[in-house]
Amino acid sequence: MTANDIRQLAPKALWQNFYSLTQVPRPSHKKEEIGAFLENFGKSLGLETLRDEIGNVLIRKPATVGMENCKSVVLQAHMDMVPQKNSGVAHDFQTDPIDAYIDGDWVTAHDTTLGADNGIGLAAAMSIMQSTNIPHPAIEMFITVDEETGMFGAFGLQPNFLQGDILINMDSEDEGELYVGCAGGIDADITFRYSEVEIEEGDVALKISLTGLKGGHSGVDIHLQRANANKLMFRFLKEAVSDFEARLASIDGGSLRNAIPREAFAVITVPEEGVDDIIDFVKDCEELFIEEFKGVEDKISFTVDQIDLPCGLIPEEAQDDLINAVTACPNGVMRFIPELPSVVETSNNLAIIKSDGKSIILRSLIRSSVESRKEELASMVQSTFSLAGAKVDLVGGYPGWKPNLESPILKEMSKVYENKYGKTPKVMIIHAGLECGILGTHYPKMDMISFGPTIRYPHSPDEKVNIASVEKFWDFLLATLENTPLK
């Protein structure tokens, strides 16, 4: 089926708006085009439309007849998407539309992220604003910029920009679940400085490539215990250096702080007579990785190719310090919430490692729903790399969202869901970061909740959204708005 087919799915208005969003390039930090698109959308409907200094878009729509005395609602989503693609795919997220298509019960994209995170929530808000026959209270559609790279839109929100009583965030990824809390996070920005040294005479260069990993969202998918390409690559590098006289020339692993790294590439040099041994070792590592991650990863590829000699090498001391620090760095789930043993409390994602001939840049995203444990894990990461001689900056910290199980909107939506579907929705805390925690610092009296359709493998080229769950999400949203409590 073609991309156009998604516009025929139900609810048609939502899917047509989602299709329109796939045609507008909107990776994080490319906000002008999508911001202008949303601003024009609001103005074309004759609605009050505002755009703040950092690019957040706000569209206001009056209540329908008979609902003027209900509490006002903010429908909140973010406009950016995570730009991830499979290696070798000719797709430019700065200019190219997303090639979305129907695959059985799901909508997905060809070899790239789909942008259902958070395009489905955004499309739902747009459809409410367009509607002429949906009962609703006064609505504010509030769309933030650059959520995926640091929640900059939420952080930059000014007081009094929003007027609503209730905020419904539509950025969760499991239908039938209502989210009332989330983890906070902080980035560790790590830098090693070096000057390249000469390659030893008689050495040859090899490119080591680790590909085919699933990756995924470093909050939503971290509990799945998927392979981290950076950690696996450095397992190989440590032994290659110690046992095969390898030297590291460059490293390129991962691309986004909030995505589990799916690929890593290293250029090494070895004595010419040792090439066959390295080839055999790479094959052994591939077999080992496949065996270790059986049932979790099914497409691991670890290969070696001889290439031209690079300009120089990372100095041996810096190389060894880097390898030891990456090997020692904690990664993955550190702790589950004792009261909710299926929910991750604290984790780290060693997301990015890149060299450029002068420096090695690493980035790690630490998450926890307990502020003190977030600080503890950040300190562990900081100490690991500081002892190795790197400069470590802890930046971009954002608060978690403390659950309020007495929330009026939680009680109302739970009742609506039970009446509509005959079962009680799950009340959840998500390990990923939601903007509610930050927005709550600006608007502490606002009643907040988050829900959404079922999305799998966000932040990876395997991202997909379940079609039936989108229709259910939409119907639940309409029922929620129709039953908004009085002021």
Determine how many CB atoms are found less than 10 A away from the CB of residue 344: 24
CA-based nearest residue to 433, from 378, 394, 396 = 396
Sequence spans of domains, the chain: 3-183+400-482, 186-398
Query: Which value, in Å, is the radius of gyration of the alpha carbons in the chain?
Result: 24
What's domain 3-183+400-482's architecture? 3-Layer(aba) Sandwich (3.40)
Known active-site residue 339: no
**Strand, helix or coil for residue 27:** strand
Q: Is-catalytic flag, 147? A: yes
What is the pLDDT at residue 4? Answer: 57
Phi and psi angles of residue 329, each rounded to the nearest 5 degrees, phi first: -65, 125
Distance between CA atoms of residues 3 and 367, nearest Å: 36
| Residue ranges for the chain with pLDDT beneath 50 | 1-2
pTM for the model stands at: 0.82
Catalytic residue among 147, 165, 175, 321: 147
For residue 296 the two structure tokens come to 């979790």
Q: Same topology for domains 3-183+400-482 and 186-398, yes or no?
A: no
Fold adopted by 186-398: Alpha-Beta Plaits (3.30.70)
Burial (CB count <10 Å: 0-12, 13-18, 19+), residue 159: exposed
Is residue 263 within 8 Å of 211, Cβ to Cβ?
yes
The span from the CA of 176 to the CA of 174, in Å, is 6
Instruction: Summarize pLDDT for 335-355 with one digit per residue, the tens.
Output: 999 988 888 999 999 999 999
Q: What do you get for the CA distance between the two ends of the chain, in Å?
A: 47
Residue identified by tokens 């490319």 is 30
Is beta strand 464-466 parallel, antiparallel or unpaired with respect to 106-109?
A: antiparallel
Q: Distance between CA atoms of 114 and 101, rounded to whole angstroms?
A: 9
Concatenated DSSP letters for 211-246? E-----BTTTSGGG-PPPHHHHHHHHHHHHHHHH--
- Are the C-beta atoms of 151 and 87 separated by less than 8 Å? no
Helix (H) or strand (E) holding 316: helix 316-328
**pLDDT in the model for residue 1:** 41
The pair phi, psi for residue 318, each rounded to 5°, is: -65, -40
Q: Would you state the pLDDT for residue 137?
A: 98
Active-site option among 80, 148, 221, 263 = 80
The structure tokens listed for 326 are: 């990456």
